[in-house]
Structure 1
Amino acid sequence: MSAVVLRGGCRCGALAIEVTLTREPADYVPRACDCSFCQERDAAWLSDPQGVLRLQQRRESASLHLRQGSNQADFVACAHCGTLVMVACEIEGRLYAAVNAHALRDARFAPEQPASPQRLAPEDKRARWRQLWFAEVCIETTAGAA
């Protein structure tokens, strides 16, 4: 099977997301975190350790980087419209990330499954993220864009 490229982003267009998946979208089960932070922001996390995640922002100030829970990961949201688009964590010098499945357009995934990462110890979270999240992550700023 060839790679599947999906696109999306925030509601106002300041942040654009592109993911390259190694399987059909219906084979992926987004993880709906049961913490109040993720529930309030309609987040269901999707990742592919062999895939690619790209975030393109109009300018550096287009994104907010938020920390919560164990304070290990950066939750990336649009500074203008507030859409939560991804979560990332640097582990041993490499950036790992997951995308909010609700920020992707025209994709049909398997039904979401609840997840409770707050029950894991901090080191267990990092091990899980390293295993499950995108290991090829690129964050770009488009110079000169409005």
Structure 2
Amino acid sequence: MTVHSGGCHCGNIRLSFSSALDPAALEIRACQCSFCTRHGSRAAADPNGRLVVSVSDRQRLQVYRFGLRTADYLVCRNCGVYVAAIAGEKDDARAIVIVNALYERERFSREPVAVSYDAESREQRLARRRSAWMPVDIQLS
């Protein structure tokens, strides 16, 4: 496994994305929802990898939900950087990492695939995330 580090601009939120996959071969998705397009989101996940999200100051972590309300979008309240999305809770939590928040983002060079999930039902969306997103650990200080 290779660990790819990153985080928000001010350093309040730190990321550690572990994957055995070559970053240049990893599929990058550009969700076409209004939130993701406004953030210029490029998301990645490795179902066999892991994401660790460490937050120094919980008060500066903004958790945002919209639409079907099936995921928490993590944004730093201080610097405004969108770093990850998490669906599920505790041991069932799964996540995507926002490639733009990784320090070596240029290594994730594959052209993003534009995706739209508007036609999914709540159950379909949750099932897709369980199978395609990766396990996540959240460490709050």
TM-score by length of 2: 0.92
Q: % of aligned pairs identical?
A: 29
Equivalent residue in structure 1 for 2:102, among 99, 104, 125:
104
What is the aligned residue count? 139
Superposition CA RMSD, Å: 1.5
Q: For 2:18, what is the secondary structure of its paired residue? A: strand
Provide Cα deviations, 1:16-49, integer angstroms capped at 9, x if missing partner.
Answer: 1110012110111211001111111121211011
Q: Which structure 1 segments of 5+ residues have no match?
A: none
Within 5 Å, give how 1:53-132 maps onto structure 2.
Answer: 53-90=51-88, 94-107=92-105, 108-109=107-108, 110-132=110-132
Q: For 2:97, what is the secondary structure of its paired residue? A: strand
Partner residue, 1:41: 39
CA contact (8 A) 1:91 1:126 kept: no
Q: Which structure 2 segments of 5+ residues have no match?
A: none
Runs of 4+ in 1 over 2 A off after TM superposition: none
Q: For 1:130, what is the secondary structure of its paired residue? A: helix
Q: For 1:102, what is the secondary structure of its paired residue? A: helix
